[in-house]
Structure 1
């Protein structure tokens, strides 16, 4: 493996050329932070292409098998995803709905080439990095149409959503759960779509810190996730659950008012604090005693489509605990389940009428240094070009004081960018 660093005169152009070059491969992971900066992530743009070896979940011991796969490939990047339904391996749970997307529960690959692109430089690793630079720089950027052909439908209509909402709220009133995340699927069958154009449009409409174009074979994950699920940096684990959403304003004054309203909203605050407690409990399984801390509570982060309330929880990892164990101990993301977690997931399977699959799982990478960073798979389009099935979910938290009309509208708000992309024909 050869590494080459080069200076970039125009990193934006090079990045778009590199994305178009990468999309030609059967295996691609393109991650773009879109210039969002925090104290916890240091990648601007990451690209992995080609496949030396891959890992696919078979439905048994996924986390253990994945760790052995990582151990066989040290000192390299390993991008991939973990689907929500891996919960069935972790707990005594089941998923009864069909897997229409036909995505496996987990998929990772060891790439042939990796690129790290910054504001002024790019680092390319692979057998012949100089040849890769020439190939990328020779690419003529083409703005191809989306060519979306298909009819988008809702698997849970408004009345079915209200009925499920009411049933779940009764469990809260009875004290069986405190909070539960109810999601609904929008889908289309016999679809054709230009996935690269769809991703570019999505990243234009909704640029987020965990934007991702992921491809393996004919399966595509096009993500505009704003949420970090879990990262490992040295001996530190960090999770940043999102709970609390408000629209952007049409004017600067309205925008500031909406932020202030969100920051003071008792329902949104209680949602966030409940999930902070859940994540703290999850992290305790991996933590050295006394190291779990909620370092930042209820911080407002603004994105192009919405304002969000985000909290940050950290801990120090116990001795001799491997990477996939720390993920398994916290999986699936608490912001997408509810509290208590297992009870909420049982009710989710009963009252949602679609399989979540990749949605509300985790998407990201293991790094050569033994670290990892995974986002929550939300605001994400899943497309299987082989069987023509396209899907995305949206959801929101139900609490004792939640209003079904507001929550239903929040689902539509969270899906706004995806609706906009598919209608931009």
Structure 2
């Protein structure tokens, strides 16, 4: 089915979806993507679901998929690291998202090449959506955003992490900080629509699990499966864009040739190559693109693409487990980096730097990295977003702090009235 105004249809469809207890939207915002199959996916309502703490969550997901053999949408939170490795999580968590939540939707609407498809549910739902009126974006009450740590403490912590690098404990670690607001009264759907306008990205999405919301402007793919091929596209390397075209092009070229950013990127490429090797046909791991530069509204990002052929003896859910959590959000070596993250960060990551996405009945899947995202608990009115960056021996702590603020800028702008 074709509609005259696709943007309006998507907005109405999300408005309708938001009346259900659970819904998940996955949107590419028309970014070109060699591995993307859908411009827009909207899963609504629950036929069946699982909600688990870490322990044997991945095995339970495998059983759930093998029983259902249906479309599934879900969340894998960062704390599943404690199941993958012998790790723990003790930092404060104001949100308490599930460690693993997946659901089989009642309705599934897709947009491919401008064509609307009903994959699950009755076709008549389209008439209901089309008849809706778009609600005007309401102004939200003032939100007081606070940081868990000061600039001074951030810089001191980065310098402490660099001491671990000097000692040879790690080469690189992704250190993050939380910004939060208590007593935040927002309309999550309106905030998501606003965030999408400020920062349209290829792996954005809106995920509602009862009173918990993920409003995501993620630019990063964690892991994707197409047939027998696995694809991961880690981001490492950021540069602020300019409104001046000539200056902007110079910034792009500088990032492309920046030895420090390349060093950060290649460390993570090596890490994800190692992760894929656990699931790959021997000798099939390939770096398809190294140091690709991609433009987003606020920043240029350095993105590499690593692929492999999935070993037929490895279940695709085990392939997800073998790569989780994503190397771009941990560091190298991975286990030691995660131990230091727990020791030096001041907040639990929870859903942040986890992933959400979908699995098809055939066992294909696509999952993002939950970054550049607002997390919100509507019953407690707690709002949170985290930002971070790769810390290496060559990092300048003050510059890393400024990069964090740049990454937070789209969310800060979104939350302003």
If the length of structure 2 is used for normalisation, what is the TM-score? 0.98
Residue 342 of structure 2 is aligned to residue 342 of structure 1: no
Question: What residue number does 1:381 align with?
Answer: 374
Corresponding residue for 2:193?
200
1:216 to 206, 209, 215: 209
The range that moved more, 219-228 or 90-99, is 90-99
1:83 matches 2:73: no
Q: Equivalents in 2 of 1:126, 1:311: separation in Å?
A: 34
SS class of match (1:29): strand
- Cα deviation, residue 72, structure 1: 1.4
Quick one: structure 1 residues 335 and 320, their matched pair in 2 at CA, closer, same or farther if it must change by over 3 Å? Answer: same
Task: Say whether residues 1:139 and 2:132 are aligned partners.
Answer: yes
Match of 1:48? Answer: 43
Query: Which of 70, 73, 92 is matched with 2:68 structurally?
Result: 73
Could you tell me whether the CA contact under 8 Å between 1:11 and 1:118 is conserved in 2?
no
Shift of 1:127: 4.0
Matched, 1:410 2:403: yes
Aligned equivalent of 1:110: 104
Determine if contact 1:180/1:344 at 8 Å carries over to the other structure.
yes
Q: Secondary structure at the match of 1:225?
A: coil
CA shift at 1:128, angstroms? 2.4
Q: Which residue of 2 aligns with 1:325?
A: 318
Is 1:30–2:28 an aligned residue pair? no
For residue 125 of structure 1, report the CA deviation from its aligned partner. Answer: 3.3
2:235 to 231, 239, 242: 242
Query: SS at the partner of 1:310?
Result: strand
8 Å CA contact retained: 2:109, 2:120: no
For residue 417 of structure 1, report the CA deviation from its aligned partner: 0.6
Once the two structures are superposed, residues 278-323 of structure 1 have per-residue CA deviations (whole angstroms, 9 ceiling, x without a partner) of 0000110001110001110000000111100000000111122112
Query: CA–CA distance in 2 between the matches of 1:102 and 1:280?
Result: 32
Question: 1:359 aligned to 2:352?
Answer: yes
The equivalent residue for 1:61 is 56
Verify: 1:289 aligned to 2:282, yes or no: yes
SS of residue in 2 equivalent to 1:7: coil
* 2:220 pairs with one of 177, 202, 227: 227
Query: Contact 1:146/1:198 (CA < 8 Å) preserved in 2?
Result: no
Structure 2 match to 1:162: 155
TM-score (norm. length: structure 1): 0.96
Distance 1:26 1:94, change over 3 A: same
Shift of 1:105: 0.9
Name the CA distance, whole Å, in 2 between partners of 1:146 and 1:328.
41
Q: Secondary structure at the match of 1:312?
A: strand
Q: Please give the alpha-carbon distance, in whole angstroms, between the structure 2 residues aligned to 1:258 and 1:136.
A: 44
Residue matched to 1:393: 386
5+ unaligned residues in a row in structure 2: which ranges?
Answer: none
Shift of residue 126, structure 1, vs aligned partner: 3.6
How far apart are the structure 2 equivalents of 1:58 and 1:404?
35
Give the 3-state SS of the residue equivalent to 2:9 in structure 1.
Answer: helix
SS of 1:80's partner is strand
What secondary structure, in the 3-state scheme, does the structure 1 residue paired with 2:90 have?
A: coil
CA drift at 1:222: 0.2
Distance 1:395 1:201, change over 3 A: same
Counterpart in the other structure of 2:244: 251
Unaligned runs of 5+ in 1: 1-5
For the Cα contact (< 8 Å) 1:181–1:397, is it kept in 2? yes
Offset of residue 19 of structure 1: 1.5
Tell me the residue number matched to 1:129.
123
**Of 18, 28, 42, which residue of structure 1 is paired with 2:13?**
18
Q: Are residues 345 and 355 of structure 1, via their aligned partners in 2, closer, same or farther at CA, if it must alter by over 3 Å?
A: same
The residue aligned with 2:86 is 92
Structure 2 distance, partners of 1:41, 1:133, is: 24
- Alpha-carbon contact 1:15-1:117 (below 8 Å) kept: no
Instruction: For residue 22 of structure 1, report the CA deviation from its aligned partner.
Output: 1.2
RMSD: 1.1
Q: How far, CA to CA, are the matches of 1:382 and 1:29 in structure 2?
A: 14
The number of residues matched between the two structures is: 417
Q: Is the 8 A contact 1:30 1:48 kept in 2?
A: yes
Give the C-alpha shift of residue 122 in structure 1.
0.8
Task: State the secondary structure of the residue aligned to 2:323.
Answer: coil
Offset at residue 250 of structure 1 (A): 1.8
Checking the alignment, whether the CA contact within 8 Å between 1:151 and 1:188 is kept in structure 2 is yes
